[in-house]
């Protein structure tokens, strides 16, 4: 699938230039004016070409509960989420497709799906997500969400003596599932990657983290996890380890240049130094942090310390969308309120670099994706600069990041394969997807979570509410 995009606008260091971009065998083979047309000619006039962004943290099956989750902080919200989590693989399939479509139409060409597994059907769940992502053609980083402690263990004990039910599956069995998933599905050269992804210190033992490190080393897998999303988790880490969660993860050896950590709201200055020294990546999920009242992550501090930062939508139950451009916008301007020195604020061009190259770094793919560079894979997005939301003509990247782009993505390619054409995903039937999402759901306003009712009193006590 060779093609040549002609007369397209691309960003240079501090300006723009009109040029041609040639793609041969899935890779960018030349960027220059007046290139010979190789393969199909693509008209790039009045369009902006950017590297595809990475939706670096989401949970696809949360799509089924977007818009309905109660207004609750994470620990209680999770209890409600799991009371109503979808338990059939057809739903997993449809929400993976839905997540991919919304990511593609908001500038993303890669997705990190911290995939919630159906108990007893773990490998089937992973196989289903793999099937969906292969069909649609987005670059997929499937991070099966694992834990080995039950939900109540994720809430600090405070003064109380608390016992938690053992988790229904052993640590060894969980690790065996991940290893089998790697054998069956990890095919980086085909755009399907498996990550090790313990959900976080709040629900995982040291043995689970250590087992994941071993798998990561043996199979060259990236590592993912939630980290210090809430104040409660900061408290819990002190109870569990007598030190910060970051110090503990460092001691275990989990932090590395292929480790990405979602949220990172409650880190102290020493923690930030540790992330910088270990070259770990922070995945910033601003909308989720706002929706769940988790806090404002100290993103400007991370950037000043040299920590790589990229963006994620987080699952659609805490967002309640998968619009990557929206996450990038809020995740950039939010921090202007946290530091009076405007020279530290994030510029639109920096936002784009964080979303593309920052995401590539998070996934150990910096030599393969994340920038318009000859030799890199053609994971590309073409924006229509005649879209009403990007007019009148000023600074294209400013309009894209600071504005509210609608129908702005004209085309997208992953590994040189075009999967968005004229503003529509063409690798799957999106109308059929819409119908199925409609048919398999219903309007609902009355549901109540039993588990929230059981644990809310303790949560309020321990959090001093």
Site residues (vs Zn ion, CB under 5 A) = 314
Cβ closer to Zn ion: 317 or 364? Answer: 317
Cβ closer to Zn ion: 314 or 353? Answer: 314
CB of 284 to Zn ion, least distance (A): 12
CB of 421 to Zn ion, least distance (A): 31
CB of 79 to Zn ion, least distance (A): 15
Pairing of the two strands 308-311 and 281-284:
parallel
CA atoms within 13 A on the CB side of 150: 11
Cβ closer to Zn ion: 113 or 314? Answer: 314
Torsion of CA 411, 440, 291, 423, to 10 degrees: 10
Cβ closer to Zn ion: 314 or 384? Answer: 314
CB atoms within 10 A of CB 113: 31
Which residues lie across from 6 on neighbouring strands? 43
Cβ closer to Zn ion: 264 or 408? Answer: 264
d(C-alpha 394, C-alpha 92), whole Å: 41
CB of 429 to Zn ion, least distance (A): 29
What value, to the nearest 5°, has the Cα angle with vertex 227 and ends 319 and 288? 10
Confirm if 357 and 370 have CB atoms less than 8 A apart: yes
CA atoms within 13 A on the CB side of 404: 0
Buried (b) or exposed (e) across 218-241, using 16+ Cβ within 10 A?
Answer: eeebbbbbbbbbbbbbbbbbeebe
Cβ closer to Zn ion: 227 or 382? Answer: 227
Q: Which one, of 168, 266, 182, lies nearest residue 222 by Cα?
A: 182
d(C-alpha 245, C-alpha 376), whole Å: 36
Cβ closer to Zn ion: 75 or 314? Answer: 314
CB of 236 to Zn ion, least distance (A): 17
CB of 151 to Zn ion, least distance (A): 15
Which residues lie across from 140 on neighbouring strands? 111, 192
Sequence-distant (6+) residues with CB within 8 A of 433 are: 94, 97, 98, 101
CB of 399 to Zn ion, least distance (A): 30
Positive or negative CA dihedral for 403, 406, 410, 412? positive
d(C-alpha 113, C-alpha 104), whole Å: 14
Q: Which residue is nearest to Zn ion (CB)?
A: 314
CB of 125 to Zn ion, least distance (A): 16
Cβ closer to Zn ion: 77 or 383? Answer: 77
Cβ closer to Zn ion: 229 or 271? Answer: 229
CB of 113 to Zn ion, least distance (A): 10
Measure Cα distances from 326 to 102, 334, 405 in Å.
Answer: 11, 12, 9
Cβ closer to Zn ion: 59 or 250? Answer: 59
Which residues lie across from 11 on neighbouring strands? 16
Q: Which one, of 449, 74, 83, 81, lies nearest residue 292 by Cα?
A: 74
- Backbone Cα Rg of the chain: 22
CB of 263 to Zn ion, least distance (A): 7
């Amino acid at each position: 699938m060779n093609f040549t995009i002609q007369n397209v606008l691309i960003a240079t260091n501090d300006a723009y230039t009109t040029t041609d971009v040639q793609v041969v065998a899935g890779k960018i083979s030349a960027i220059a004016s007046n290139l010979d047309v190789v393969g199909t000619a693509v008209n790039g006039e009045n369009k902006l070409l950017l590297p595809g962004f990475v939706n670096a943290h989401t949970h696809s099956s949360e799509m089924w509960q977007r818009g309905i989750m109660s207004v609750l902080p994470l620990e209680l919200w999770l209890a409600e989420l799991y009371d109503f989590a979808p338990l059939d693989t057809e739903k997993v399939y449809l929400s993976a497709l839905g997540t991919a479509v919304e990511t593609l139409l908001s500038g993303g060409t890669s997705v990190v799906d911290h995939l919630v597994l159906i108990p007893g059907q773990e490998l089937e769940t992973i196989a289903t997500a793999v099937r969906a992502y292969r069909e649609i053609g987005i670059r997929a980083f499937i991070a099966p969400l694992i834990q080995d402690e039950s939900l109540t263990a994720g809430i600090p004990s405070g003064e109380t003596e608390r016992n938690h039910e053992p988790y229904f599956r052993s640590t060894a069995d969980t690790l065996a599932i991940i290893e089998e998933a790697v054998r069956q599905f990890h095919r980086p050269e085909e755009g399907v990657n498996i990550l090790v992804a313990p959900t976080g210190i709040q629900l995982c033992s040291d043995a689970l983290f250590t087992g994941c490190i071993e798998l990561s080393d043996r199979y060259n897998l990236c590592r993912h996890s939630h980290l210090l999303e809430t104040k409660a988790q900061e408290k819990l880490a002190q109870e569990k380890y007598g030190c910060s969660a970051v110090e503990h993860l460092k001691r275990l050896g989990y932090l590395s240049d292929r480790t990405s950590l979602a949220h990172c709201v409650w880190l102290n200055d020493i923690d930030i130094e540790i992330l910088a020294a270990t070259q770990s990546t922070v995945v910033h999920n601003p909308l989720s942090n706002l929706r769940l009242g988790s806090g404002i992550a100290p993103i400007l501090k991370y950037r000043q310390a040299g920590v790589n930062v990229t963006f994620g939508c987080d699952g659609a139950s805490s967002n309640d969308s998968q619009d990557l451009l929206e996450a990038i916008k809020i995740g950039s301007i939010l921090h202007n309120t946290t530091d009076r020195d405007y020279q530290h604020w994030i510029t639109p061009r920096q936002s784009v670099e964080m979303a593309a190259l920052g995401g590539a770094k998070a996934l150990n793919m910096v030599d393969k994706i994340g920038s318009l560079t000859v030799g890199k894979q053609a994971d590309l997005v073409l924006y229509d600069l005649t879209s009403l939301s990007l007019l009148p003509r000023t600074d294209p990247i400013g309009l894209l990041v600071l504005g509210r782009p609608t129908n702005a993505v004209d085309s997208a390619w992953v590994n040189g394969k075009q999967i968005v054409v004229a503003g529509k995903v063409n690798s799957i039937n999106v109308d059929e997807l819409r119908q199925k999402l409609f048919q398999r759901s219903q309007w609902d306003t009355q549901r109540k979570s039993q588990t929230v009712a059981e644990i809310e009193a303790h949560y309020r006590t321990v959090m001093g509410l």
